[in-house]
Amino acid sequence: MKSKIKSSFKQTIFVFKKWNGKGYAVFNSLSKIVKITTLSLSYSIVLLPLQVLSQADTTITKNLDLEEVIISAQRAPIIYSQLSRHVTTINEDEIQLMPVSSLDEILENFSGIDVRQRGANGIQSDISIRGGSFDQNLILLNGVNISDPQTGHHSLNLPIDLNSIERIEILEGPGSRVFGPNAFSGAINIITNQSDKNYTKAGFTAGDFGLFSGNLVSSIKLKKTKQFISFSKSRSNGYIKNTDYEQNNIFYNLNYGSDIGKIDFQIGYTDKEFGANSFYTPQYPDQYEQIKTTFTSLKFETGDKIKISPKVYFRRHKDRFELFRYEPESWYTGHNYHLTDVYGVKVDAKMNTKIGITSVGVELRSENIWSNVLGNLMNDTIKVKGEPDGFYSKTYSRTISNLFLEHSYYLGDFSLTGGLLASWVSENDLGFNLYPGIDLGYNFNTKTKVYLTVNKSLRLPTFTDLFYSGPSNIGNSDLKPEVAWSYEAGLKFKENRITSNLSFYYRDSKNLIAWVKPLNSDPDAKWETQNLTNVTTFGFELSNQLNVNKYSIQNLSFNYSYLHQATLSDESFETKYSLNYLKHNFVFNVNHKLFDYMNLSWSTKYQDRAGSYIKYDVELNDYVGDRNFDPFWLFDAKLSWSKKLLTIYAQATNIFNSKYTDISNVEAPGRLFQAGFNVQIDYF
């Protein structure tokens, strides 16, 4: 059943007339009309597409199918007021106003996320949540795990661009009991277009350094069938030598509602090649990489009182890495070739009863790699298709079996959700292990809620952790999984125009996997993967959103996070990634309504990174000593004009051309100006 909803800045009213057969037991039990008012901000995780960020005198009418609303923070659907976790959501309207051009730039606008760029416009970035490494979070596309077992560097190789995204949900904190292994410090779910409208949209952008991007998306609904398809292409000459890139994406999504259930099919392909200047070592700056990723999944959902949802998925990732793009050294024996295949089947079931919502699930996942540098030696080599000089000589496989169980119970203002993950991994005789968790919440009144969570999570070593050996790295095939207990206490506050969240968290990690070498070792010493004995993480986050609608200011937000990590190992190590975390991260965003149809959005960020790195001097061709990460400010802005079917915009990032470093010896992009337009045609 669908409810029509009218949304404006002044007031938002949602009327839910009937809940028969829905997955929301708390309303199902009321058997009467429920009216919920002024929810446009605090309930954005459920009703996110309804949040309006355009002009105040515009009223938007949308249809919302409550069956399609799924929250990534729990295994069963739940309305936001009952959610006892810290979840950040970003919707399509917000994205369109932000001065951003890629997914990683969107995420950088939220203080709990650390984005370490290796190039401009999201060509490759490492994402960290609450001080975790880029391997410690899970990336999902429409709820399907697309993370790469080879390395977290490939986690954001997605077959979509910004015009395909309807909303983004970020679970800050452990999610292993919900999503499975590797949701160690959090998870990010990217949701593509789910609209019932028929439309075609095209966009073009041009900018500094030969930047060009274009996209074409179309949504078609015919009776019980919804289809969405997108094409996108982007390229640039690069902001410095050997940072050029070219990327091509195609994505298709089919939804069909039959009498016996719903079918959801998606398939996507991305082809990306880029100059990787000093990405992995500054000694050889002319690195180059090409990746090709194919992903597909098929999901079926049926049932009324008991909903059953089987799902199958497949992901193939091909990677060619060149240490020397131009003139190789005499000792260089050839490029690195990798092929990873991931197969998975998953079945979830949920049931509403008088004592709450119960959800169970099973998953079988197979992760496989063929490579000339990662894995165990094969008896014979395999030719790499499309590469005349490429051969796979090594291989490795592992199987992961997961059993999920979760139950949510609500009694008045009190809520409790408990669950566990039982996981079995085939490698290294790890056996069968349990990872439980519990979330508690209490509503003091209609404006204030407190919550407390305790969760255990794990992260499996990547194939790179286990096997990679190169000019500056040595893998370790005896690595154990990372395990952590995480504790969080938070306070949520919501009234009329203000939405705030304050959370404190503590994570105690055992066997943390890190690329390390002893302090004061020779600069040419290789990084080795080891299980550090114990790493503790403490932090707090404060986020505030204010709907102003005065003095040309539509809305603003300011977020701050503080983080501290300490290692309790027997030996002092320098780490390549793990302990170079953002100690202070402040983000301030403002959206202005300047004139009719014209908006100005701007943001400023302050980042202070802990840790240090060994500075490499290109002119001397040698390392010159330890260097701390310097704190820095960034300022971005976007001016847009939108009327009917046309939107024209101009934006600039890093306006004051700040010089900074996110990753050791990798020069971050400077000021970048770009402008473009979007055209959308709606069909009846």
* Amino acid 543: pLDDT: 94
> Domain ranges in the chain?
2-683
Task: Enter the tokens of residue 142.
Answer: 């429409």
* Amino acid 74: pLDDT: 62
Q: CA 7 to CA 139: how far, in whole Å?
A: 31
Q: CA 348 to CA 363: how far, in whole Å?
A: 9
- DSSP alpha helix (H) spans, 561-662: none
Q: Is the pLDDT of residue 221 over 50?
A: yes
* Amino acid 259: pLDDT: 83
Q: Is the pLDDT of residue 57 over 50?
A: no
Q: Is the pLDDT of residue 67 over 70?
A: no
* Amino acid 260: pLDDT: 87
pLDDT band at 215 (very low <50, low <70, confident <90, very high): very high
If one counts every other C-beta atom within 10 angstroms of the C-beta of residue 400, the result is 21
The amino acid sitting at 4 is K
Task: Fill in the DSSP letter of residue 93.
Answer: H
pLDDT band at 578 (very low <50, low <70, confident <90, very high): low
pTM of the model: 0.87
Percentage, residues of the chain above pLDDT 90: 57
Q: CA 477 to CA 16: how far, in whole Å?
A: 55
Residues in the chain: 684
pLDDT band at 428 (very low <50, low <70, confident <90, very high): low
Mean pLDDT of 648-653: 96
Q: What is the CATH number of domain 2-683?
A: 2.40.170.20
Q: CA 500 to CA 8: how far, in whole Å?
A: 21
Mean pLDDT of 566-579: 69
Q: Is the pLDDT of residue 582 over 80?
A: yes
Q: Tell how strand 186-192 and strand 137-141 pair up.
A: parallel
Q: Among 19-28, 250-259, 370-379, where is mean pLDDT lowest?
A: 19-28
Q: Is the pLDDT of residue 644 over 90?
A: no
Q: Is the pLDDT of residue 289 over 90?
A: yes
Q: In sequence order, which residues have a C-beta less than 8 Å from that of residue 71 and are 6 or more positions away?
A: 45, 46, 77, 78, 80, 83, 87, 169
623/646: higher pLDDT: 646
Write down the mean pLDDT value for the chain.
84
With beta carbons less than 8 A apart as the criterion, state whether 289 and 274 touch.
yes
Strand partners, 63: 4
Residues 154-187: pLDDT tens digits? 988 999 999 999 989 898 999 899 888 899 999 9
Q: In sequence order, which residues have a C-beta less than 8 Å from that of residue 223 and are 6 or more positions away?
A: none
Mean pLDDT of 244-258: 95
Using CA atoms in the order 612, 618, 624, 627, what is the torsion angle rounded to 10 degrees?
-20
Q: CA 152 to CA 361: how far, in whole Å?
A: 26
Q: CA 318 to CA 412: how far, in whole Å?
A: 52
3/425: higher pLDDT: 425
Q: Is the pLDDT of residue 649 over 50?
A: yes
pLDDT band at 488 (very low <50, low <70, confident <90, very high): very high
* Amino acid 519: pLDDT: 75
CA 326 to mean position of chain CA atoms = 34
* Amino acid 325: pLDDT: 92
Q: Helix or strand or coil: residue 393?
A: strand
Q: CA 675 to CA 641: how far, in whole Å?
A: 12
